[in-house]
Amino acid sequence: LSILLYNKLDNADRWRAAFQEVLPDLPMVTRETMGEPGEIRYAVVWQPEPGVLGELPNLRAIFNLGAGVDGILRDASLPADIPIVRLRDAGMATQITEYALYGTLHYHRDFDRYAGFQRAADWTELPNRRAGDRPVGVMGLGVLGADVAAKLAMLGFDVSGWSRSPKTLPDVSCFHGDDGVQAFLSRCEILIVALPLTDDTRGFLDARRIAWLPDGAALVNLARGPLVVEADLLAALEGGKLRGALLDVFNEEPLPADNPLWRHPKVIVTPHIAAQTRVREGAAQIAAEIRRMEEGGAPSQTVDRSLGY
């Protein structure tokens, strides 16, 4: 019985060390050291290559070293009845909220406009708007989006949120479903995207829906690149519909050097760093799930494969 660690990031050694501490009795192997595939009972993965998980006949659960499971679900050979357990928060919510706050304040306090003025040595004052007069919207009110919405509301912003199922959150105007999306988008001067990438959300922010935003809105995408149609985003920036975009995620990562987003004057690019999984918190969460399963329990909070998140 052992655990397979499949993580193409360069912090695999840190994960292995953290697991050794919390699960000293369970050997952790890699694909190179694993021996008999039948020995593997649990797989702990980040963006595994398609096919890898289908080779393990005695697998009982797959643990994802992050919040988004789009990298796992694209694997057509994924065994159908094995539960997929994702990390919940694991230190990510605070970081995601910091990133969202940075983006919100950047546009709310006109730092984009002042940067342009500075380049022209132009000492122009713009009127400061009250946070309460600034409608900010959060798309996706899950573990991460709900934290963003709550903290923005705490700072006094006029916050709304949108999710698949109806929600009630203190001080947040909640919209849901396809019927609620136009009403939601039409009030977002700053839109923060915190949706998972699924069959339903891929390409969701296209020209038609971007047009529902108020003129001059700003976009913060800290979730997944393909949620936004890149060509439509560029057109909306060029045409002035959007005032700017803070982007952490892209269709292709790393963002190719010749992609126009790198040099676009209205775009800020960061290299998918909005939140990084905290290794110790992640390992502790997964260890607790494995112990529960070893004692005959079911894993908690598994991914709903039909919904894709």
- Residues binding ligand NAP (CB under 6 A): 66-68, 92, 140-145, 163-165, 194-198, 200-201, 222-224, 248-249, 272, 274-275, 309
In the complex, the smallest distance separating the C-beta of residue 17 from ligand NAP, rounded to whole angstroms, is 22
Nearer to ligand NAP, 16 or 86 (CB): 86
- Distance separating alpha carbons of residues 259 and 161, to the nearest angstrom: 31
Distance CA(70)–CA(59), nearest Å, equals 20
CB 202 within 8 A of CB 226: yes
Q: Decide if 218 contacts 243 (C-beta within 8 A).
A: yes
Q: Could you confirm whether 272 is annotated as catalytic?
A: yes
Query: Cα dihedral angle (19, 22, 27, 29), rounded to 10 degrees?
Result: -10
Which contacts (CB < 8 Å, 24+ apart) does range 290-294 have? 290/3, 290/23, 290/26, 290/42, 290/61, 290/63, 291/23, 293/42, 293/60, 293/61
* Rg of the chain on CA atoms, in Å: 21
Residue 263 C-beta: closest distance to ligand NAP, Å: 21
| CB-neighbour burial class of residue 213 (10 A; exposed 0-12, middle 13-18, buried 19+) | buried
**Which position among 14, 209, 272, 280 bears the catalytic label?**
272
Residue among 2 and 47 whose Cβ is closer to ligand NAP: 47
Structure tokens at 37: 């595939």
Give residue for tokens 């047009």: 211
Query: What are 23's two structure tokens?
Result: 């699960």
Report in angstroms how near the CB of residue 169 gets to ligand NAP at its nearest: 10
The catalytic residue among 224, 278, 280, 292 is 224
Q: Which residue is nearest to ligand NAP (CB)?
A: 142
Is 106 annotated as catalytic? no
| Contact criterion met (CB below 8 Å) for 191 and 219 | yes
Structure letter (DSSP) for residue 227? G
Report in angstroms how near the CB of residue 163 gets to ligand NAP at its nearest.
4
User: Closest CB to ligand NAP among 194 and 283?
Assistant: 194
* Nearest in space to 142 (alpha carbons), one of 93, 71, 99, 105: 93
Instruction: Kindly state the smallest distance separating residue 41's Cβ from ligand NAP, in Å.
Output: 26
For ligand NAP, the closer of residues 2 and 94 by Cβ is: 94
Return the residue matching tokens 């038609």. Answer: 208
Identity of the residue, 40 or 286, whose beta carbon is nearer to ligand NAP in the bound complex: 286
- Min dist. Cβ of residue 195 to ligand NAP (A): 5
Nearer to ligand NAP, 231 or 273 (CB): 273
Residues labelled as active-site residues: 224, 272
